[in-house]
Amino acid sequence: KAGVTQTPRYLIKTRGQQVTLSCSPISGHRSVSWYQQTPGQGLQFLFEYFSETQRNKGNFPGRFSGRQFSNSRSEMNVSTLELGDSALYLCASRKDRGHPGELFFGEGSRLTVL
Amino acid sequence: DQQVKQNSPSLSVQEGRISILNCDYTNSMFDYFLWYKKYPAEGPTFLISISSIKDKNEDGRFTVFLNKSAKHLSLHIVPSQPGDSAVYFCAASKRMNYGGSQGNLIFGKGTKLSVKP
């Protein structure tokens, strides 16, 4: 069974640009969450989608947005990039009736903003 | 305000000995606590969890203890092996209005465990 797949794995952008990251969850998983990992802040929750609906949102500015498609694949977008957006962006999926809190993470997309 | 805290950024242990990783939390509304392990260049993987109604959960070499009055939990690894060397994240979840488990976990900043042969 394929795991959570994130693309691209690495990317470099400049300030003011925008970026779109993609996530394909494990087959059968309808919930997808996004996290930002930075050395100073650890993993911080961005948002969660379930059946194309945003279920919950973390404390990030409106420049961070996401969506989920009917096949459960998800994208997140960051507009007007800032240097502080440099981070590892992790996507995770979970089973509908799985163990509480058990997330299956992808390997992440490492974004560098210059 | 950091709701989940791991105060030790790193821990070094000899192979075969016990590793104890600690975690403190501030929110009494958390209903599940989890530990994730992360190797470099990989995403975190779920290790073990404990419900807020229990005080201990064991899975092989890994045991998690929960002290609700102190708002403290710990992960014990016995015996420690070199393959356990990784960053360990403590996480907590809060039951949402719609019920059921949720994908919104609050993580600590992690503790890097090094197990030396």
Are residues A90 and B44, on separate chains, in Cβ contact within 8 Å?
A: yes
Dist. CA A81–CA A41, nearest whole Å: 18
- Residue A46, Ramachandran bin (φ over 0: left; ψ between -120 and 50: alpha; else beta): alpha
Range with lowest mean pLDDT among A19-23, B28-32, B61-65, B102-106 = B102-106
Residues ≥6 apart with Cβ < 8 Å to A91: A4, A6, A21, A23, A25, A32, A33, A34, A35, A74, A76, A105, A106, A108
Instruction: Report whether pLDDT(A17) > 60.
Output: yes
The DSSP letter of residue B60 is: T
* Facing B105 at nearest CB: one of A31, A41, A103: A103
Are residues A99 and B103, on separate chains, in Cβ contact within 8 Å?
A: no
* Facing A101 at nearest CB: one of B43, B91, B98: B91
Dist. CA B108–CA A41, nearest whole Å: 8
* Per-residue pLDDT, B106: 92
* Facing B46 at nearest CB: one of A56, A58, A102: A102
- What residues of chain B, 84 to 113, have a C-beta less than 8 Å from chain A? 89, 91, 93, 96, 98, 100-110
* Facing A106 at nearest CB: one of B32, B43, B106: B43
Instruction: Report whether pLDDT(B20) > 90.
Output: yes
Residue of B nearest to A6 (CA): B43
Residues B59-64: what's their mean pLDDT?
Answer: 98
* Per-residue pLDDT, A1: 60
Residues A34-41: what's their mean pLDDT?
Answer: 89
- Choose, out of B39, B107, B111, B112, the residue to mutate when testing the contact with A (most A CBs < 10 Å): B107
Dihedral angle computed from the Cα positions of residues B49, B22, B69 and B36, in that order, rounded to the nearest 10 degrees: -20
Whole-Å CA distances, A56 to A17, B17, B53:
26, 41, 25
Residues B5-20: what's their mean pLDDT?
Answer: 96
pLDDT digits (tens, 9 = 90+) for A89-100: 999 999 887 777
Dist. CA A39–CA A41, nearest whole Å: 6
Residues A30-49: what's their mean pLDDT?
Answer: 91
Q: Higher confidence at residue B45 or residue A100?
A: B45
How sure is the predictor about B103, in pLDDT bands with cuts at 50, 70 and 90?
Answer: low
* Per-residue pLDDT, B96: 57
Are residues A102 and B49, on separate chains, in Cβ contact within 8 Å?
A: yes
Residues B51-74: what's their mean pLDDT?
Answer: 96
* Per-residue pLDDT, A40: 77
Whole-Å CA distances, B70 to A27, A98, B52, B74:
40, 29, 13, 12
Whole-Å CA distances, B65 to B3, B56, B79, B88, B111:
18, 5, 17, 15, 17
Residue of B nearest to A32 (CA): B103
Are residues B43 and A92, on separate chains, in Cβ contact within 8 Å?
A: yes
How far off is chain A from B68, nearest CA to CA, in Å?
19
* Facing A42 at nearest CB: one of B103, B104, B108: B108
Instruction: Report whether pLDDT(B98) > 60.
Output: no
